[in-house]
Amino acid sequence: MPHGFDCYRVFISAPGDLENDRSAAYDAASRANESVAMPANILLVSIGLRDHGQIEAFRSAASDNVRWSTFFVQIFEDDWGPRDLFRKLFLLALECRDDPSMPMRDVVVCLKDAAQETNAGILAFRRELEEQPGVRLLRYRRPEELREQLGAVCGEWAQALIALGSPAPGAS
Protein backbone atom coordinates (compact mmCIF):
# COMPACT_ATOMS: atom_id res chain seq x y z
CA MET A 1 0.00 0.00 0.00
CA PRO A 2 1.51 3.36 -1.01
CA HIS A 3 2.19 5.62 1.96
CA GLY A 4 3.88 8.65 0.38
CA PHE A 5 7.05 8.50 2.49
CA ASP A 6 10.63 8.12 1.30
CA CYS A 7 11.98 5.49 3.73
CA TYR A 8 15.59 5.23 4.90
CA ARG A 9 16.76 2.31 7.04
CA VAL A 10 18.63 2.94 10.29
CA PHE A 11 20.28 -0.28 11.48
CA ILE A 12 20.57 -0.21 15.29
CA SER A 13 22.93 -2.78 16.78
CA ALA A 14 23.67 -3.57 20.42
CA PRO A 15 24.75 -6.55 22.49
CA GLY A 16 21.92 -8.02 24.58
CA ASP A 17 22.96 -6.54 27.91
CA LEU A 18 22.23 -3.04 26.56
CA GLU A 19 18.49 -3.52 25.93
CA ASN A 20 17.47 -0.24 27.63
CA ASP A 21 20.06 1.59 25.55
CA ARG A 22 18.80 -0.05 22.35
CA SER A 23 15.26 1.03 23.24
CA ALA A 24 16.50 4.58 23.77
CA ALA A 25 18.07 4.51 20.29
CA TYR A 26 14.82 3.37 18.70
CA ASP A 27 13.00 6.10 20.61
CA ALA A 28 15.49 8.71 19.36
CA ALA A 29 14.77 7.77 15.74
CA SER A 30 11.03 7.85 16.39
CA ARG A 31 11.22 11.31 17.91
CA ALA A 32 13.23 12.59 14.94
CA ASN A 33 10.58 11.13 12.66
CA GLU A 34 7.80 12.94 14.50
CA SER A 35 9.51 16.31 14.76
CA VAL A 36 11.56 16.57 11.54
CA ALA A 37 11.26 13.73 9.04
CA MET A 38 7.58 12.88 8.75
CA PRO A 39 6.37 16.43 8.10
CA ALA A 40 8.65 16.30 5.02
CA ASN A 41 7.36 12.84 3.97
CA ILE A 42 10.56 11.13 5.06
CA LEU A 43 10.70 8.17 7.41
CA LEU A 44 13.72 6.84 9.28
CA VAL A 45 12.90 3.13 9.60
CA SER A 46 14.67 1.56 12.59
CA ILE A 47 15.74 -2.02 12.04
CA GLY A 48 18.06 -4.39 13.82
CA LEU A 49 18.29 -7.48 15.96
CA ARG A 50 15.89 -7.91 18.87
CA ASP A 51 18.51 -9.75 20.88
CA HIS A 52 22.16 -10.55 20.36
CA GLY A 53 21.48 -14.27 19.91
CA GLN A 54 19.94 -13.48 16.55
CA ILE A 55 23.32 -12.38 15.22
CA GLU A 56 24.45 -16.01 15.29
CA ALA A 57 21.19 -17.52 14.04
CA PHE A 58 20.53 -15.00 11.27
CA ARG A 59 24.00 -13.73 10.39
CA SER A 60 23.38 -13.51 6.64
CA ALA A 61 20.08 -11.67 7.06
CA ALA A 62 21.67 -9.24 9.54
CA SER A 63 24.49 -8.52 7.10
CA ASP A 64 22.04 -7.96 4.25
CA ASN A 65 20.08 -5.52 6.39
CA VAL A 66 23.28 -3.57 7.08
CA ARG A 67 24.00 -3.47 3.34
CA TRP A 68 20.53 -2.08 2.61
CA SER A 69 20.67 0.57 5.35
CA THR A 70 21.41 4.26 4.96
CA PHE A 71 22.58 4.78 8.54
CA PHE A 72 24.20 2.47 11.11
CA VAL A 73 24.18 2.89 14.89
CA GLN A 74 26.32 0.60 17.06
CA ILE A 75 25.93 0.69 20.84
CA PHE A 76 28.75 -0.76 22.96
CA GLU A 77 30.11 -0.83 26.47
CA ASP A 78 32.65 -3.60 26.99
CA ASP A 79 32.96 -6.13 24.16
CA TRP A 80 32.11 -7.18 20.61
CA GLY A 81 29.40 -9.61 21.69
CA PRO A 82 29.23 -13.33 20.89
CA ARG A 83 32.14 -14.55 18.75
CA ASP A 84 32.98 -10.91 17.90
CA LEU A 85 30.07 -10.90 15.43
CA PHE A 86 29.07 -7.32 16.26
CA ARG A 87 32.59 -6.32 15.14
CA LYS A 88 31.93 -7.98 11.80
CA LEU A 89 28.67 -6.02 11.40
CA PHE A 90 30.44 -2.81 12.37
CA LEU A 91 33.24 -3.39 9.85
CA LEU A 92 30.65 -4.24 7.19
CA ALA A 93 28.89 -0.93 7.89
CA LEU A 94 32.19 0.93 7.44
CA GLU A 95 32.84 -0.91 4.18
CA CYS A 96 29.36 -0.04 2.93
CA ARG A 97 29.74 3.61 3.97
CA ASP A 98 32.99 3.85 2.02
CA ASP A 99 31.43 2.34 -1.13
CA PRO A 100 29.57 5.07 -3.08
CA SER A 101 27.39 2.45 -4.77
CA MET A 102 25.91 1.44 -1.39
CA PRO A 103 23.19 3.39 0.43
CA MET A 104 25.16 3.68 3.73
CA ARG A 105 25.92 7.31 4.51
CA ASP A 106 26.89 7.48 8.19
CA VAL A 107 28.15 5.19 10.96
CA VAL A 108 27.74 6.16 14.61
CA VAL A 109 29.19 4.42 17.65
CA CYS A 110 27.49 5.02 20.98
CA LEU A 111 29.91 4.13 23.77
CA LYS A 112 28.50 3.77 27.24
CA ASP A 113 30.78 5.16 29.93
CA ALA A 114 32.67 2.64 32.02
CA ALA A 115 34.65 4.93 34.30
CA GLN A 116 35.50 2.19 36.81
CA GLU A 117 36.69 -0.30 34.18
CA THR A 118 40.19 -1.69 34.69
CA ASN A 119 40.17 -4.83 32.50
CA ALA A 120 42.92 -4.36 29.91
CA GLY A 121 41.00 -6.20 27.17
CA ILE A 122 37.93 -4.05 27.65
CA LEU A 123 40.00 -0.86 27.74
CA ALA A 124 41.73 -1.90 24.49
CA PHE A 125 38.32 -2.59 22.90
CA ARG A 126 37.11 0.87 23.91
CA ARG A 127 40.32 2.50 22.58
CA GLU A 128 39.85 0.75 19.24
CA LEU A 129 36.39 2.28 18.93
CA GLU A 130 37.57 5.71 20.02
CA GLU A 131 40.34 5.72 17.41
CA GLN A 132 38.18 4.52 14.51
CA PRO A 133 38.64 7.08 11.67
CA GLY A 134 35.58 8.71 10.17
CA VAL A 135 33.16 7.38 12.78
CA ARG A 136 31.04 9.68 14.89
CA LEU A 137 31.45 8.69 18.55
CA LEU A 138 28.75 9.50 21.10
CA ARG A 139 29.63 8.99 24.77
CA TYR A 140 26.86 8.59 27.31
CA ARG A 141 26.21 7.40 30.86
CA ARG A 142 22.49 6.67 30.89
CA PRO A 143 19.97 5.67 28.21
CA GLU A 144 18.31 9.09 28.55
CA GLU A 145 21.57 10.77 27.49
CA LEU A 146 21.86 8.40 24.54
CA ARG A 147 18.27 9.21 23.51
CA GLU A 148 19.04 12.94 23.54
CA GLN A 149 22.37 12.76 21.69
CA LEU A 150 21.24 10.23 19.10
CA GLY A 151 17.99 12.15 18.65
CA ALA A 152 20.04 15.15 17.56
CA VAL A 153 21.99 12.96 15.10
CA CYS A 154 18.78 11.48 13.67
CA GLY A 155 17.40 15.00 13.32
CA GLU A 156 20.55 16.00 11.38
CA TRP A 157 20.09 12.99 9.10
CA ALA A 158 16.48 13.95 8.46
CA GLN A 159 17.45 17.56 7.72
CA ALA A 160 20.13 16.39 5.27
CA LEU A 161 17.60 14.14 3.52
CA ILE A 162 15.13 17.00 3.31
CA ALA A 163 17.84 19.21 1.80
CA LEU A 164 18.38 16.60 -0.94
CA GLY A 165 14.84 17.26 -2.08
CA SER A 166 14.48 13.87 -3.76
CA PRO A 167 15.01 10.28 -2.74
CA ALA A 168 18.66 9.41 -2.26
CA PRO A 169 20.15 5.98 -2.83
CA GLY A 170 18.66 3.61 -0.28
CA ALA A 171 15.24 5.23 -0.19
CA SER A 172 12.21 3.13 -0.84
The pLDDT assigned to 169 comes to 56
Q: What is the CATH number of the domain that holds 65?
A: 3.40.50.2300
The pLDDT assigned to 1 comes to 47
The domain of 140 spans 6-164
> What's the pTM value of the predicted model, to 2 decimals?
0.90
Contact 117, 123 (CB under 8 A): yes
Asked whether residue 66 is domain-assigned, the answer is yes
DSSP 151: H
The pLDDT assigned to 166 comes to 57
90-136, pLDDT tens digit by residue? 999 999 999 999 999 999 999 999 888 888 988 888 898 899 888 99
Output the average pLDDT for the chain: 89
Q: What's the structural domain count of the chain?
A: 1
User: Rounded CA gap, 73 and 129, in Å?
Assistant: 13
Asked whether residue 63 is domain-assigned, the answer is yes
Asked whether residue 100 is domain-assigned, the answer is yes
